[in-house]
Chain A
Amino acid sequence: MIQYIIKRFFMMVLTVLLIATLTFFLMHAIPGSPFDDDRTSNPTIQENLEKYYKLDQPLPVQYANYLKAIVTFDFGPSIKKPNDSVNSLLARGFPISFELGIITILVAVLSGVTLGTLAALRHNGIIDYLAMTFAVIGISIPNFILATLLIQIFAGELKWLPAATWQSPLHMILPTLALATGPMAIIARLTRSSMLEVLTQDYIKMARAKGLKPSRIIIRHALRNAMMPVVTIMGTMLAGILTGTFVIERIFAIPGMGKYFVESINNRDYPVIMGSTVFYSAFLVFMLFLVDIVYGILDPRIKLHKKEGESS
């Protein structure tokens, strides 16, 4: 186990380093400098600006500076918003995005698992049919489309809920719903199919024969095993939710990290792009790492250290 964690940790660092390097060289492959606009057409101003942002140094030195910036977590000032440093933007945006993400995951997992379990217990019944229809539809509607539809219906036509911003719990309903529906549908489908498989297993029959309460059988015996596929896809799901926050925050004018990220892309604000890309990927890769370890803890049948040599 320890050996596996160390190995995975090493892979994690390698992945982040790869992304960081990729980001750096991609950004420097763009022709022209970030200061190519009217305001700074004066060559002296440009030179000074480049000096200020340390863009006048040779590439290897810049790369070294950049790696140092990552390790010390200090990405310097933003180019388009000179009063803000990349760090302050991240510090301002991240808590909000994190809140949105956590609520979304909670909603998606809790309702997805409940829906999937109910569907499995009423296999081929009406609940099953309705839940799976909902799931296929949920998977098919892109989150940004769902978000705009929700605004149009609940904020535009019915005027029940506010259309934008992130202030009260009431404001959180629509963005969370828009972001959580897709993952919820995927979780519901997965839970249903693995639950159906688990319910035919001998140990469930055994538990029934012992006369345990059905609720106890499902929660203690079936669900824990049925959850394994769900844990497996948590990684990809997190990535989806994370990128989903970009559009959702834009649509609902939520001042989170995604909004700054999209803004920085549209203004070509390189320090912010680089900083947030590295931050996002490091966060995501770390989450994948955690998911892997949780997986190992949840399923005692998996002997992690035996994975050496063969990987599927």
Chain B
Amino acid sequence: MTNLKEVEIKDEWFKPKAKNLEKAEMVVRPSLSYWADAWRKLKKNKLAMLGMFFLIFLAIMAIFVPIFSPYLVTATDYPSQNKAPSMTHWFGTDEAGRDVFTRTWYGARISLFVGLMAALIDFFIGIIYGGISGYKGGKVDLIMMRIIEVLYGLPHLLVVILLMVVMGSSLTTIIVALTITGWVGMARIVRGQVLQLKNYEFVTASKSFGAKTSRIIRKNLLPNTMGPIIVQMTLTVPSAIFAEAFLSFLGLGISAPFASWGVMANDALPVILSGHWWRLFFPAFFISLTMFAFNVLGDGLQDALDPKLRG
């Protein structure tokens, strides 16, 4: 038992803690904006963060490796063809002696470019079409949605293949072909969101102040639909990357000597049974990892940006 008398009672114990007085009323969590809150939640999702860091790494490598590599993407070197990975060629060489390491990162460039461009163009067409359709409503909406319904029923990749045949294969054609069919999904999402939001009071308020339609869509409606739009964009990117690789693999996309992951996998096809594993492994590994990263990031964003799950 401790002797109570031995405890010295200090005066300062009984003085009010002035410092804490201001915060005493703060029983709620710090007020976070929608985006800060989403970021906080995303940071907790380890897999999504891993995906994001991988994509940042991928982007940096895709930009700098082809610049600083001692080998050109298209440079052939027949004496050293089909060499296994070594110190001089980290990922080995292909049948024309081209450096697979340089080509892999060049392929990353193509994939990221196609993916991001497709997502960006889908975004612009989608928000304009979906925004107008959802906001106008009535007959306009009915007609615009009928058009979308017909387009939605089209077998997309088939249309893209057809367009590639007609327009000839190049990077621009791939992006054009992908976006001609790709914007429909985005437009549907934007329309659904706008349809919900347009009856809210703040829109009525804006309208009563005499705001024009374009301003209401731009300033009031779109910022509130950004969550689902961003998720849709993150999920567009991997499907565009897949489509580019698929087309290149079929011989409809980018063609050799230029490198894309699809082209590299296609070139590796005749030699896969002869033990040149690196020819297939590296493009296969990176395309899968990239799609994986975009998918987990998209999943993470979906959870983080959903206002219903805010907590």
Interface of A with B (CB < 8 Å)? 11-12, 14-15, 18-19, 22-23, 26-27, 29-30, 136-137, 139-142, 144-145, 148-149, 151-152, 155-156, 163, 239, 242-243, 246-247, 250-251, 262, 265-266, 268, 273, 277, 280-281, 284-285, 288, 309, 311-312
Question: What chain B residues lie within 8 Å of A266 (beta carbons)?
Answer: 251
User: By the criterion CB–CB under 8 Å, are B155 and A142 in contact?
Assistant: no
User: By the criterion CB–CB under 8 Å, are A281 and B292 in contact?
Assistant: no
Leading 9 A-B pairs by shortest Cβ distance: A140-B292, A243-B157, A140-B291, A15-B153, A145-B284, A141-B288, A26-B166, A152-B272, A156-B273
User: By the criterion CB–CB under 8 Å, are A144 and B277 in contact?
Assistant: no
User: By the criterion CB–CB under 8 Å, are B246 and A142 in contact?
Assistant: yes
Give complex CA distance A312, B265 in Å: 39
> Given A152-B272, A280-B155, list of 12 further CB < 8 A pairs?
A15-B154, A19-B155, A26-B163, A137-B288, A139-B291, A145-B283, A149-B280, A149-B284, A151-B272, A156-B272, A163-B273, A284-B155
6 residue pairs from A and B, CB less than 8 Å apart: A139-B295, A156-B272, A243-B246, A247-B250, A262-B250, A281-B158
Question: What chain B residues lie within 8 Å of A149 (beta carbons)?
Answer: 280, 284
User: By the criterion CB–CB under 8 Å, are A242 and B155 in contact?
Assistant: yes
Which residues B23-56 have CB closer than 8 A to chain A?
none
Question: What chain A residues lie within 8 Å of B165 (beta carbons)?
Answer: 26, 30, 265, 268, 273
User: By the criterion CB–CB under 8 Å, are B155 and A148 in contact?
Assistant: no
Give complex CA distance A303, B235 in Å: 31
Give complex CA distance A140, B277 in Å: 20
Q: How far is the CB of A266 from chain B (nearest CB, A)?
A: 6
Contact of A312 among B159, B192, B251, B277 (CB under 8 A): B192
User: By the criterion CB–CB under 8 Å, are A239 and B246 in contact?
Assistant: no
- With both beta carbons as reference points, the residue of chain A lying nearest to B266 in the complex is identified as A144
Give complex CA distance A288, B280 in Å: 36
Which residues B167-186 have CB closer than 8 A to chain A?
none
Give complex CA distance A14, B292 in Å: 37
Give complex CA distance A183, B161 in Å: 21
Contact of B154 among A19, A144, A156 (CB under 8 A): A19
Known pairs A15-B150, A151-B272; A239 contacts B295 (CB<8 A): no
Digitize B146-164: 1 where CB-to-A-CB distance is under 8 Å, 0 elsewhere. 0001100111111101110
User: By the criterion CB–CB under 8 Å, are A22 and B159 in contact?
Assistant: yes
- Place the interface of chain B in its size category: 35 or more
User: By the criterion CB–CB under 8 Å, are A142 and B252 in contact?
Assistant: no
User: By the criterion CB–CB under 8 Å, are B269 and A142 in contact?
Assistant: no
**Chain A contact residues: over half helix, strand or loop, or mixed?**
helix
User: By the criterion CB–CB under 8 Å, are B158 and A277 in contact?
Assistant: yes
Known pairs A136-B296, A247-B249; A288 contacts B162 (CB<8 A): no
Question: What chain A residues lie within 8 Å of B252 (beta carbons)?
Answer: 265
User: By the criterion CB–CB under 8 Å, are A22 and B162 in contact?
Assistant: yes
User: By the criterion CB–CB under 8 Å, are B150 and A148 in contact?
Assistant: no
- With both beta carbons as reference points, the residue of chain A lying nearest to B164 in the complex is identified as A265
Q: Which of B163, B265, B283 has the most C-beta atoms of chain A within 10 angstroms of its own C-beta?
A: B265
Q: How far is the CB of B198 from chain A (nearest CB, A)?
A: 15
Known pairs A145-B265, A149-B284, A281-B154; A250 contacts B166 (CB<8 A): no
Give complex CA distance A141, B250 in Å: 17
Question: What chain B residues lie within 8 Å of A29 (beta carbons)?
Answer: 166
Q: Which of B192, B238, B251, B284 has the most C-beta atoms of chain A within 10 angstroms of its own C-beta?
A: B284
User: By the criterion CB–CB under 8 Å, are B158 and A152 in contact?
Assistant: no
User: By the criterion CB–CB under 8 Å, are A239 and B156 in contact?
Assistant: yes
Contact of B291 among A142, A151, A152, A277 (CB under 8 A): A142
Give complex CA distance A176, B157 in Å: 20
Give complex CA distance A19, B154 in Å: 7
Q: Does residue B268 face the partner (Cβ distance < 8 Å to A)?
A: yes
Digitize B272-290: 1 where CB-to-A-CB distance is under 8 Å, 0 elsewhere. 1101010010011001110
Q: Which of A19, A163, A242 has the most C-beta atoms of chain B within 10 angstroms of its own C-beta?
A: A19
Q: How far is the CB of B233 from chain A (nearest CB, A)?
A: 17
Known pairs A148-B280, A163-B273; A239 contacts B157 (CB<8 A): yes
User: By the criterion CB–CB under 8 Å, are A26 and B265 in contact?
Assistant: no
Q: Does residue B145 face the partner (Cβ distance < 8 Å to A)?
A: yes
Give complex CA distance A191, B4 in Å: 66
Question: What chain B residues lie within 8 Å of A273 (beta carbons)?
Answer: 162, 165
User: By the criterion CB–CB under 8 Å, are A27 and B269 in contact?
Assistant: no
User: By the criterion CB–CB under 8 Å, are A136 and B273 in contact?
Assistant: no
- With both beta carbons as reference points, the residue of chain A lying nearest to B188 in the complex is identified as A312
- With both beta carbons as reference points, the residue of chain B lying nearest to A164 in the complex is identified as B273
User: By the criterion CB–CB under 8 Å, are B242 and A142 in contact?
Assistant: yes
Question: What chain B residues lie within 8 Å of A243 (beta carbons)?
Answer: 155, 157-158, 161, 246
- With both beta carbons as reference points, the residue of chain A lying nearest to B166 in the complex is identified as A26
Q: Does residue B245 face the partner (Cβ distance < 8 Å to A)?
A: yes
Which residues B229-259 have CB closer than 8 A to chain A?
238, 242, 245-246, 249-252
